[in-house]
Amino acid sequence: MTTQQMPNPVELYEAAAKNTRKIIAGVKSNQLKDSTPCAKWNVQDLVDHLAGGTDFAITILKGGQLAGEPKPGSGNLAKYDAGVKNVVATAKTPGVMQKTVNTPIGPMPAAQFMMACFMDQLVHGWDLAKATKQDTKLDARHVLVCYNAFAPHIDKMRDPRVFGPAVKVPDNASAQDKMIAMFGRKP
């Protein structure tokens, strides 16, 4: 999908983050050590990733250098809220979305990078909801946009550090289950 055909990636990111925020707010303190669909992360690790991912996105959008993984236990709702607000403000700065940004996988248009941030919010929001027994239903439009944007390229993106192998689902599976399975999750 080219950036001209894409829906507004900043609006998609905002909407996915709004849903993920509800899920983070619903995490109970006794669930923080529970496992998640991300084999290497427990619930606290996933919250750390989501909150720390905002710092990562801001750094990339501003052309800075990456400082590494978030500190364990550093993720919480307040950090997440502040981070999402800053990502959106940075992305909406005139000219930012027209830039090429340097990412760990190479240079790409900022709009394409924001689509990856949208996908990260959408999929990890689902992971967190599943791990904490919250509602895993995602916005159907967001599911289709994400699936259509990433399905053509998923095999090139597949890396055990990022996505597990695709999970087989029946042909008649829902669009959400197909998307989740594409990213290596068992619906």
Domain locations along the chain: 9-137
CB atoms within 10 A of CB 116: 19
Tell me the CA end-to-end span of the chain in Å, nearest whole number. Answer: 25
Q: No. of H helices and E strands in the chain? A: 7, 2
CATH of domain 9-137: 1.20.120.450
**What pLDDT is attached to residue 135?**
98
Q: What is the mean pLDDT of residues 154-166?
A: 74
**What pLDDT is attached to residue 4?**
46
Closest CA to 150 of 119, 176, 173, 175: 119
**What pLDDT is attached to residue 157?**
76
pLDDT tens per residue, range 41-71: 999 999 999 999 999 999 999 998 766 666 7
The conformation of residue 35, written as its DSSP 8-state character, comes to: B
Q: Indicate whether 161 pLDDT > 80.
A: no
Query: Could you give the angle at the alpha carbon of 23 between the alpha carbons of 21 and 25, nearest 5°?
Result: 70
pLDDT tens per residue, range 118-137: 999 999 999 999 999 999 99
pLDDT tens per residue, range 68-114: 666 777 789 999 999 999 999 999 999 999 999 998 888 999 999 99
- Angstrom distance (rounded) from CA 46 to CA 27: 11
**What pLDDT is attached to residue 72?**
75
- Indicate the pLDDT class of residue 3, thresholds 50, 70 and 90: very low
**What pLDDT is attached to residue 162?**
65
Q: What is the mean pLDDT of residues 27-42?
A: 94
Q: Indicate whether 167 pLDDT > 80.
A: yes
